[in-house]
Amino acid sequence: MPLQELLKGIIIQSGNDASIAVAEHIAGSEDAFASMMNEQAALLGMTASSFVNATGLPKEGHQTSAWDLAQLTISLINRFPEHYALYSERSFIFNDIEQPNRNRLLWRDRTVDGVKTGHTEAAGYCLVASALRGNMRLISVVMGTDSDEARMRESQKLLSYGFRYFETQKLYDAGVPLKTAPLWYGEATEIELGLAEAVSLTIPRGHYDDLQAELSVPNVLQAPVAAGDELGALILTLYGEEIYRGPLVALQAVPESGMFSRLSDWVTLFFKDLLGGE
């Protein structure tokens, strides 16, 4: 069977048989695939998750959290947009039978484009949902409800609240100089610092002007420097609470200077340090 059909069976119809078939194909056994899941979860920072099977059926030691599922969803959407499109399909036909998507929120809200339902007696009715309105995407995670209707209703409440009271702002573009810092022992005496990736943040609506930005850079930067080297940090705070921290990187390479130039820099730094940085 084509892998694409099995993925539809997993994503759209919640097929446990398809989940096991894919797990065994990739890893040789379901247990081995669960080990791969745990390795990937650790890489994504899913610290509350432990997986022992590929289906999500209750078993001792098999657990996750709402936060971890949100982190997994963010990674899915960002890294595999071509596969994420499957999550918005309302149905597919297999063996001449139409299989509807179990996420009925797709019919209720046209901005919802995923993600996944789940249900066991132990976990209740669960739904990870995501919606895109304009340039803003929100993810909600609802677990432990008592019906399909309840998980949809509570998911809609969360998404509606988020879109009403929050906004996403693009703050910085990648590759744009944010700071020019002194550089020692290099063929250039200064280096431009910026971001390797653009930064967008979701913040309470109307509080954009209250954001505070800090560029944290060591007092002494030394060559050689390669483009992309991390040399500092961009820190954003809102009312004293840190809401973002990301690396400041070198926007160009600067090779080490000649011996006499380095000696001159060393003497300058020596006396600067001796005099307390004056």
Say which CATH number the domain at 206 has: 2.60.410.10
Same domain, 104 and 242: no
Average pLDDT of the chain, as a whole number: 94
Say which CATH number the domain at 28 has: 3.40.710.10
Same domain, 132 and 267: no
What would the 3-class secondary structure string for the chain be?
A: CCHHHHHHHHHCCCCHHHHHHHHHHHHCCHHHHHHHHHHHHHHCCCCCCECCCCCCCCCCCCECCHHHHHHHHHHHHHHCHHHHHHHHCCEEEECCEEEECCCCHHHHCCCEEEEEEEEECCCEEEEEEEEEECCEEEEEEEEEECCHHHHHHHHHHHHHHHHHHEEEEEEECCCCCCEEEECECECCCEEEEECCCCEEEEEECCCHHHEEEEEECCCCCECCECCCCEEEEEEEEECCEEEEEEEEEECCCECECCHHHHHHHHHHHHHHHHCCCC
Same domain, 152 and 17: yes
Same domain, 10 and 141: yes
Using 70 as the pLDDT threshold, list the residues of the chain that sit under it: 274-278
Same domain, 18 and 148: yes
Same domain, 161 and 188: no
Q: How many domains does one find in the chain?
A: 2
Same domain, 19 and 124: yes
Q: What is the pLDDT of residue 273?
A: 72
Q: What is the pLDDT of residue 262?
A: 87
Same domain, 181 and 158: no
Give the residue from 136, 168, 200 where a domain finishes: 168
Give the residue from 152, 168, 184 where a domain finishes: 168
- 211-234 pLDDT, tens per residue? 999 999 999 999 999 999 999 999
Full residue range of the structural domain in which residue 68 is found: 3-168
Q: What is the pLDDT of residue 266?
A: 86
Same domain, 86 and 28: yes
Same domain, 82 and 161: yes
Q: What is the pLDDT of residue 263?
A: 87
Give the residue from 151, 168, 185 where a domain finishes: 168
Q: What is the pLDDT of residue 277?
A: 55
